[in-house]
Structure 1
């Protein structure tokens, strides 16, 4: 389902790779393997259901195996995350929360979310800092 005001053919994520810049539409993100989980967050009230693509699957899609990933939000806030910190049981790039696409007002269009309730390892300041919302750009460095 496209975001309000954003056609499904418009890029919601720009990925800068060492040799190319690739835009991804919501349809293209939704075509990748889907993961969904329920968790509470420190930014929302009550359990939330997040749906998206595992970060490890997104990185594999682009052939990114090492280095650092710079994640940047619509307001230019950015963080650097080691690629090897993403795990199969960890972060997803969420494009839905509680069955709804996310707008800028609701922390979208994309939000890096961890299954915080599943393990104490996802309840640290580092993990909370990595949980960037309003994400619209990623840049891979070796």
Structure 2
């Protein structure tokens, strides 16, 4: 009986263990669960080759712009978005690049839910096959993995 309880506890923890905190310019925050993100925000998928893998991988997630729409935030009022990793690594993408290159906050890789050990639970990914001009260190350093927090910066 104890092992059944342990398994149920582990399963409930793993389903709750991937929240994403969104911090807004007014200092408020919203916490989204994996289920909210994967079920309520439109998904986008693409396959691209990134320097961290030998072969192209398929990524599925929400466009950053779809997240803004979900939050009722007009992109015209946003200057940039910062992505913070579990280890506190952070990078900021300006809104013009987000609009032009349509990065996603991926939560699946090759049709599997991303785990922390595989750059999850969330990873900002740009499609460098579609936009080869961004296949460089400037954009690679923006591709934060193990994201647990997103900060939306408003125009001054």
Q: What residue is the counterpart of 1:69 in the other structure?
A: 81
Q: Please tell me whether the aligned partners of residues 54 and 93 of structure 1 are also in contact (alpha carbons under 8 angstroms).
A: yes
CA distance in 2, matches of 1:64, 1:140: 11
Structure with higher Rg: it is 2
Tell me, which stretches of 5 or more residues in structure 1 are unaligned?
none
Structure 1 residue 90 and structure 2 residue 102: aligned?
yes
Tell me, which stretches of 5 or more residues in structure 2 are unaligned?
1-10
Q: How many residues align?
A: 138
Q: Please tell me whether the aligned partners of residues 18 and 34 of structure 2 are also in contact (alpha carbons under 8 angstroms).
A: yes
Q: 1:135 to 1:105 in 2, by over 3 A?
A: same
SS at match of 2:14: coil
SS at match of 1:29: helix
Q: Please tell me whether the aligned partners of residues 83 and 144 of structure 2 are also in contact (alpha carbons under 8 angstroms).
A: yes
CA distance in 1, matches of 2:122, 2:112: 12
Question: Cα offset for 1:90?
Answer: 2.6
Higher strand share: 1
Q: What residue is the counterpart of 2:68 in the other structure?
A: 59
Higher helix share: 2
Write out the 4+ residue segments of structure 1 that deviate beyond 3 Å after TM superposition: none
Q: Please tell me whether the aligned partners of residues 56 and 88 of structure 1 are also in contact (alpha carbons under 8 angstroms).
A: no
- Structure 1 stretch 64-73 or stretch 107-116: which is displaced more? 64-73
- What TM-score does the superposition give when structure 2 sets the normalisation length? 0.81
Alignment of 1:1-142 (within 5 A): 5-7=13-15, 9-10=16-17, 12-19=19-26, 20-30=28-38, 31-62=40-71, 63-65=73-75, 66-87=78-99, 89-142=101-154
Q: 1:125 to 1:72 in 2, by over 3 A?
A: same
RMSD: 1.7
Q: Please tell me whether the aligned partners of residues 38 and 115 of structure 1 are also in contact (alpha carbons under 8 angstroms).
A: yes
